Amino acid sequence: MNKELRRVSLVIFMMFLTLFIATTSIQVISAETLSQDQRNVRSVYDSYKKQRGSLLINGQPIAYSKPSDDIYHYIRTYSDPMYSGVTGFFSNYQGATGLESAMNSYLTGQNSAQFFEQISALFSGNPVTGASVELTIDPAVQKAAWDGLGNLTGAVVAIEPKTGNILALVSKPGFDANLLAVHDGVLSTKNYSALLNAKSEPLKNRATTELYAPGSVFKILVATAAIESGKYTPESTLPNPVKFKLPGTNVYVQNSGEGKCGGKATVSIADALRFSCNVPMAQLGILLGQDAIRAQAEKFGFGKSIKVPLAITPSVYPSNMDDAQTGLSAFGQFDDRVTVMQVAMMSAAVANGGLVMKPNLVRTVLSSNLAALTTPSPSELGSAMSSATAAKVRDMMIGAVARGVSSNGQIKGVSVAGKTGTAQNGQGEPYTLWFTGFAPADNPQVAVAVVVADGGGMGQAGRGNSLAAPIAKKVMEAVLHK
């Protein structure tokens, strides 16, 4: 009978194994999916029970949970709408966005870094208090960007080139996240739909997720590709006609002043960048070819999903273009699409000797007893160009600000490298206005990108240099003059 007993033992063992597997699959493998099921009210109850961690700048909370007398125990409170592009919102009814969502596991105390706290909570029965997140944002720089944009629609990103630390991240118009954090469900939902349907679309994050035509700021990238190819120097010249007929079409490219780029028969790449001329850039783009430009774009971070930890929408350089389209793409038109964060990364890479640093918003994560759970160190995304190339591109960008059409980026007594952009968005559509650059050019402390959307309210009359550059100047000054 013992042979049969052995087989029965095996059957019993298989039954238990099935139960082990089934419970693991529910409790661990699909736990996350199950917790997000709309019919599962436990996650909602959970979020009430514990104090959510704060988002801090220099120890001052910009988003925190303060005790309330209702069944929810705590209410989420936001200090200033100028941080709405960073914090996002946390609502009992509308979920979470921004860092509230990206850092949720830390803020709720569920992150594996808080394992030991979770264990002790298991025995004490008290819920884990959420960890707080200290940000890299510099409030003075943030304020300069917020005030600089004023009533315009647009965004500003300022990065410390050596580390990738984000000093300012502004999206305008912002919103008051307190409107969504209210505990009255009807009110919260009403406020949410008002924000969602507002014509100015305040819930969009124009710094991280919106894609814009880059216009002339893209010329920095093409100039970089040209010099990296080894076939060109800043002094290399290109033919300088008034108009350039795109190959295979009847379409002509013109410079923005509708004249020649300087008075000569040829124009150097440096001058083309200085005066932001489209004709030589279109020719240069076709000579380089789309593959070389795309390769350069990818080195800067195009096409990559980056989390700072806000998710950055990948920027796009189009593929399968003919020569005419390549020519257009070389000065930031056709289907080129970029985020403000990507443009800031591009300037930061030039400023940092060609090395692309991963942008980062989190300085450190602190547990409730102020132990540092994680402190992200600067991390490299790769090299976009050699340091020699970076120096040449920098000098060309200095020329564009000091002696060119990007002159409103000048700061008294400081050498600024920069480039403006004024992108067209189709017949009759308002322009997208840009400035990107860094300062001081010889020892960069800040790289900045500014976009002003909807033509800054001036239709096709506004220019990058007139509207975006002054904002960038204020932001750079805020970094340098403190």
Partner 1 sequence: MTFTNLTDAINIPKIIRVIPRNRNIEAWLLAFALGLFAFELAQIQLSVLQVLCADFWLYFVPFTLAVLAIHFVLRIRASEADSLILPIGVVLNGLGIAEIYRLDLHTVAVKGTELFAGKQIAWTCIAIAVAAVVVIFVPSHLFLRRYVYVSMFVGVGLLLSPMLPVIGRSINGARLWIGIGPLTFQPGELAKIALTVFFAGYLVTRRDSLAIVGRKIFGVRIPRARELGPIISIWVASLLVLVMQHDLGTSLLYFGLFIVMIYVATGRSIYVVVGLTMFFSGALVASRVADYVTRRFDAWLNPFDQSHYDAVGGSYQLVQGIFGLAHGNLLGAGLGGGLPHLVPLAESDFIIASLGEELGLVGMFAILALYLLLVARGVRIAFMHNDDFSKLLAVGLSFVIALQLFIVMGGVTRVVPLTGLTTPLLAAGGSSLIANWIIIGVLLRISDSMGSGQRVIGAVN
Q: Contact residues for partner 1 (CB under 8 A)?
A: 1-5, 7-9, 11-13, 15-16, 18-20, 22-28, 30-31, 34-35, 37, 39-43, 45-46, 118-119, 121-125, 127
- Could you check whether the bond before residue 430 is cis, i.e. omega within 30 degrees of 0? no
Taking residue 308's Cβ as centre, other Cβ atoms within 10 Å add up to 23
Sheet containing 166-172: give its strands across: 166-172, 154-159, 446-452, 432-439, 417-423
The nearer residue to partner 1, 3 or 412, going by C-beta atoms, is 3
Q: What is the DSSP string of 91-139?
A: ETTTEE-HHHHHTHHHHTT-SGGGHHHHHHHHHH-PPPPPPEEEE---H
The nearer residue to partner 1, 8 or 196, going by C-beta atoms, is 8
Minimum Å distance from CB 124 to partner 1?
8
Minimum Å distance from CB 197 to partner 1?
29
Taking residue 298's Cβ as centre, other Cβ atoms within 10 Å add up to 15
* 216 part of the active site: yes
Burial class (CB in 10 A: 0-12, 13-18, 19+), 268: buried
Minimum Å distance from CB 122 to partner 1?
5
Distance CA 443, CA 396 (A): 16
Contact between 434 and 333 (Cβ < 8 Å): no
Q: How far apart are the first and last CA of the chain?
A: 88
Minimum Å distance from CB 16 to partner 1?
5
The structure tokens 């814009």 sit at 212
Distance CA 289, CA 13 (A): 66
Minimum Å distance from CB 4 to partner 1?
4
**Which residues neighbour 28 within 8 Å (Cβ) at sequence distance 6 or greater?**
none
The nearer residue to partner 1, 50 or 219, going by C-beta atoms, is 50
Contact between 192 and 181 (Cβ < 8 Å): no
Minimum Å distance from CB 131 to partner 1?
17
Task: Extract the tokens encoding 215.
Answer: 């216009």
Catalytic residue among 54, 216, 276, 315: 216
The nearer residue to partner 1, 42 or 231, going by C-beta atoms, is 42
The nearer residue to partner 1, 28 or 186, going by C-beta atoms, is 28
The nearer residue to partner 1, 110 or 466, going by C-beta atoms, is 110
Q: Which residues are catalytic?
A: 216
